[in-house]
Structure 1
Amino acid sequence: MQGDQSREAAEERASSADVQGDESKDASDTAPNISDADALNILLEMKMKRRQKKPSLPSTVTELATEEGSKVYVVGTAHFSDSSKRDVVKTIQEVQPDVVVVELCQYRVSMLKMDERTLLKEAKEINLEKLQQAIKQNGLMSGLMQMLLLKVSAHITEQLGMAPGGEFREAFKEAGKVPFCKFHLGDRPIPVTFKRAIAALSFWQKVKLAWGLCFLSDPISKDDVEKCKQKDLLEQMMAEMIGEFPDLHRTIVSERDIYLTYMLKQAAKRTELPRISEAEPRRCVPSVVVGVVGMGHVPGIEKNWNTHLNIQEIMR
């Protein structure tokens, strides 16, 4: 009886570590007799075994490297695309990263835990209460800008019946399956972006932009989204509306390119391997990072990769 209970407990532990096939059987047989150090080593070995030396990656992935030897795989995505979600899943499974970085900030992190149905409902229900809350949190002009951008997103959501951020939710789920993988938010806080965007516009420019956002109604098909894999659909629509405002493009796109690059490079610092105790010496190795960003940010990240970055100027 006691032996059966031990085996059941071991099998549960092996299952929670996402061990498959024969690996699951071996782990369940040995788990009751191994030390914490051995368990950590098993997980590390499992991770390294799954990490492909020459990963087969989607064409939307750009590979970058740091001076310390860390590798960064940037997945360029369309925010309303099923194939982008598949690209993210495949990349994380192939490279088994130490860190996953996504183009989200703490103000938008809730979309990681909402299901598609809830997000679709939230995106379509833009009301006075939400407007008042946005203004209260971000000020009058920034709050209005936030709601207008939500309207653009809601328009795409309504046209496609697909909630935004699916690639980020897939990244979050897949990162949880990789042993010792950290999950980082890599985008500049949205209130900072809105504040700087509003400050870059004259009064009449604000009126003209708001007018264009308010009367957005062009139909969009799923084929249109997939055609935009070389340039994210949402960012392309915004670029068309803000094209005549260079300062606005700088604050919404170029500055965020710099911020995303900085966060990816920070994530790519050498990884400290797990230790059983404080007495154990530290072991640091080059990191493997997966970044998940809109396709429109990839050229800017490549451009800024080998430059010295100071983000203090773009955080005021």
Structure 2
Amino acid sequence: MTIEPTQSPSEPEINSGEDFVHIDEPRPTTGDISLSDSIVNVEKEDAEEEEEFKDSDSVVTGGDDEAGGSIDIGGGEAECSSEKMKVELPEELAKSVVILTCESTGKGGSCDVYLIGTAHVSKESCREVEAIVSFLKPEVVFVELCSSRLSVLKPQNLKVPTMSDMIESWKQKQNTFGILYGWFLAKIASQLEVFPGAEFRVAYEQAMKYGGQVILGDRPVQITLKRTWAKMPLWHKVKFIYSFLFQAVFLPSPEDLNKMLKEMDNLDMVTLVIQEMSKEFPSLMDTLVHERDQYMASSLLRVASEHSSVVAVIGRGHIQGIKKNWKQPITMKDLMEIPSDQSVFTVKRIISSVAIAVAGTAIFTGILLARRR
């Protein structure tokens, strides 16, 4: 199921051309360091002022890549004030929200940060995000995305990659872990009929309605995946690939998956999977969860220190980590480094192992199906 944007006279339109946004090569900034590594300006129409703007390509303004940072994808000045943000959320909305504060150069000298914990593949999370952002109308909406995942904000159809799709991605030198990870999420999403990260698109659409800024604050996914893959021993890589294939083949039914989501009070589906797999592969929690907790806590604090009101839409599994690292000294450069992979002939060995794993899974599945008949 795709989430179609709400059509209304006041909703801004995106000047997309062939793609969702046009991103040019980064160019160095001048003067003070920008809040973000790069800024993607999304052109839109302001229906309330009944004024047409001339279309133009969006531009990415580069910053300090080594330091890491957030990415501003545009929006206007939010129609809100620091006083309005002091209003308490209704009880039914407050249950999924954690509030942090910090000093700020914005209005009032401080910023209230509302953390919304989501389940990533949940219709209920989408409804909560829509209601909270619409109610608070914050100056900034911070989402758990990076520039490489901007496509999440575009309407898409649920599609589980085929084996040929995955092979083609590998030929294009995409990260092996990323290919499998994306396939696994797509399998879960197809069962639940909701696109992974749909709550981010909902948050974006709500912010665009009233002119709020949307900032991408997660670590670049390529760095996260490369750090994850590089830190795994060769044997763990082989074992990991087989485990992913096996679990994806034997996913629970949609009813069981929805029941699991309702029973998870403090975790999202993705983090739950990572936690379970980290029992076999300890490095997963460090690179996929803990390091990103630190990265997002730092980038979120940086954003909040220059604004008066922020709503952050993140997975529930990151809430406690961001609270723990809030206002703590974090060296972003360390989180952006990619360790060297010391394995010899790693790719050839893993490809051979994948072939064996796929064949073994297919044979095992065929035996089970034959017995059921």
Shift of 1:245: 2.7
1:81-106: CA deviation from partner (whole Å, max 9, x where unpaired):
11111221122122211111111111
Q: 2:267 aligns with which of 210, 231, 255?
A: 231
Aligned-partner residue type, residue 202 of structure 2: E
TM-score of the pair, normalised by structure 1: 0.74
Work out whether residues 100 and 175 of structure 1, in 8 Å CA contact, stay in contact via their aligned partners in 2: yes
Normalising by structure 2, report the TM-score.
Answer: 0.64
Distance in 2 between residues matched to 1:45 and 1:80, nearest whole Å: 28
1:75 is paired with a residue whose SS is strand
CA positional deviation for 1:153: 0.7
* Distance in 2 of aligned mates of 1:47 and 1:15: 20
Kept after mapping to 1: 8 A contact 2:142/2:312: yes
- The question of whether the paired residues in 1 share the 8 Å contact of 2:103 and 2:305 is answered with no
Give percent identity, aligned residues only: 33
1:176 aligns with 2:211: no
**C-alpha distance in structure 2 between counterparts of 1:267 and 1:126, whole Å:** 39
Structure 2 unpaired stretches of 5+: 1-7, 13-46, 51-75, 105-109, 338-373
CA drift at 1:135: 5.0
The equivalent position to 2:327 in structure 1, one of 289, 306, 312, is 306
1:111 has 2:152 as partner: yes
Distance 1:130 1:204 in 2: 21
Aligned-partner Cα distance in 2 for 1:44–1:200: 42
Count of residue pairs brought into register by the alignment: 258
List aligned pairs for 1:162-173, cutoff 5 A.
Answer: 162-173=194-205
Counterpart check, 1:206 vs 2:219? no
Deviations 1:279-298 (CA, angstroms, capped at 9, x unpaired): xxxxxxxx100101110000
One-letter identity of the residue aligned with 1:73: Y
Q: Which stretch has the larger CA shift, 169-178 or 147-156?
A: 147-156
The 1:200–1:94 alpha-carbon spacing in structure 2 relative to 1, beyond 3 Å, is same
Please tell me whether the aligned partners of residues 151 and 213 of structure 1 are also in contact (alpha carbons under 8 angstroms). no
Highest relative contact order (Cα 8 Å, sep 6+), 1 or 2?
1
Question: Of the candidates 124, 129, 144, which is equivalent to residue 83 of structure 1?
Answer: 124
The one-letter code sitting in structure 2 at the alignment partner of 1:136 is Q
1:78–1:17 CA distance, 2 compared to 1 (3 A): closer
The answer for the alignment partner of 2:114 in structure 1 is 73
Give the corresponding residue for 2:133: 92
- SS of the residue 1:108 aligns to: helix
**Equivalents in 1 of 2:283, 2:162: separation in Å?**
28
State the superposition RMSD in angstroms.
Answer: 2.6
- Distance across 2 between alignment mates of 1:84 and 1:184: 19
The structure that has the greater radius of gyration is 1
Unaligned runs of 5+ in 1: 1-13, 19-26, 33-42, 272-286
C-alpha contact (below 8 Å) 1:52/1:94 kept by paired residues: no
* 1:46 CA displacement: 5.3
The separation in 1 between residues aligned to 2:267 and 2:305, in whole angstroms, is: 29
Once the two structures are superposed, the pairs formed by residues 1-316 of structure 1 within 5 Å of their partners are 15-16=9-10, 47-48=80-81, 51=85, 53-56=87-90, 57-68=93-104, 69-115=110-156, 118=157, 120-121=158-159, 124-134=160-170, 136-138=172-174, 143-179=175-211, 181-216=212-247, 217-219=250-252, 220-271=256-307, 287-316=308-337
Per-residue CA deviations over 1:237-271 (Å, capped at 9, x if unaligned) read 12101223332211111001011111211211223
SS of alignment partner, residue 147 of structure 2 = coil
State the alpha-carbon separation in 1 of the partners of residues 173 and 302 from structure 2: 29
Cα gap change, 1:250/1:45 in structure 2, threshold over 3 Å: closer, same or farther?
Answer: closer
The amino acid of 2:10's aligned partner reads S
- Change beyond 3 A, Cα 1:134–1:261: farther
**Aligned to 1:176, what secondary structure does the other structure show?**
helix
AA at the equivalent of 1:99: V
Q: Distance in 2 between matches of 1:158 and 1:170?
A: 19
Offset at residue 218 of structure 1 (A): 3.0
Report Cα offsets for 1:9-63 as digits up to 9, x if no partner.
xxxxx95389xxxxxxxx98xx79xxxxxxxxxx989534975622323311110
Q: Distance in 2 between matches of 1:111 and 1:161?
A: 15
Provide the rounded CA distance (Å) in 2 between the counterparts of 1:197 and 1:170.
29
Q: Matched residue of 1:218: which SS?
A: coil
Q: What's the offset of the Cα at 1:150? A: 1.6
